[in-house]
Amino acid sequence: MADKTYALLGDLESVPAEYKSQVAQVKRVLEVFTMDPAFRDGYQANPEGALASLGVDLAPADVAPLVDPDQARRARELLAVDPEQVPPAVRRHWAFVAEKLNFREAVRQAGFAASPGLAKWRQRQLNRACGELGTGRSSAIVHAPFAVELSKGCTVGCWFCGVAAPKYDEGFSYTAQNAALWRGCLTALHNVFGTAATQGFLYWATDPLDNPDYEAFREDFFDILKYAPQTTTAQGPKDLPRTRALLERSAEMGIAVDRFSIIALNHLRRLHEEFTPEEVLRVEFVPQNKESDQLKSRSGRALNFAEKRAGELVDEAESSTIACVTGFLINMVDRRVRLITPCNTSKRWPLGYWVLDEEHFDTAEEFERALRRMIDRSVHPFLERDTPIRVRRDISLFSEDDSLVFEARGLRESVRVEPDCAGLLDLIADGSLNAEHIAGARRREADVPLAHTYALLGKIFDHGLLDEEPPPRSFEDVMRKPTPVQLGRRQPARD
pLDDT for the residue 476 = 44
pLDDT string in tens for the chain (495-residue length): 568 899 999 999 999 999 999 999 999 999 999 999 999 999 999 999 999 999 999 999 999 999 999 999 999 999 999 999 999 999 999 999 999 999 999 999 999 988 899 999 999 999 999 999 999 889 999 999 999 999 999 999 999 999 999 999 999 999 999 999 999 999 999 999 999 999 999 999 999 999 999 999 999 999 999 999 999 999 999 999 999 999 999 999 999 999 999 999 999 999 999 999 999 999 999 999 999 988 999 999 999 998 889 888 999 888 899 999 999 999 999 999 999 999 999 999 999 999 999 999 999 999 999 999 999 999 999 999 999 999 999 999 999 999 999 999 989 999 999 899 999 999 999 999 999 999 999 999 999 999 999 999 999 999 999 999 998 764 444 334 444 444 443 333 344
How many residues are listed for the chain in this entry? 495
Query: What pLDDT does residue 3 have?
Result: 80
Cα 33 to chain centroid distance, Å, stands at: 25
Provide the pLDDT for residue 406. Answer: 97
User: Which 3 state secondary structure label does DSSP give 342?
Assistant: strand
Give the domains, in start order, of the chain with CATH numbers: 17-101 (no CATH), 113-234+288-378 (no CATH), 396-479 (3.90.930.60)
Q: Residue 182: which of 204, 212, 154, 213 has the closest Cα?
A: 213
The rounded radius of gyration (Å) of the Cα atoms in the chain is 25
ω into residue 470 within 30 of 0, thus cis?
Answer: no
How high is the pLDDT of residue 175?
A: 98
Distance CA 53, CA 50 (A): 5
- Cβ atoms of 438 and 452 within 8 Å: the answer is no
What is the DSSP secondary-structure string of 289-339? STTS-PPBPSSGGGGGGTTTTGGGB--TTS------EEEEEEETTTTEEEE
pLDDT at 110: 94
CA distances from 144 to 126, 178, 276, 284 (A): 11, 24, 31, 18
Backbone angles phi, psi at 85, to 5 degrees: -80, -10
Q: What is the pLDDT of residue 319?
A: 87
Q: What is the DSSP-derived secondary structure letter of residue 257? A: -
Collapsing DSSP states into helix, strand and coil, what is residue 196? helix
Distance CA 266, CA 253 (A): 29
Which candidate, 260, 265, 248, 146, places its Cα nearest to that of 197? 146
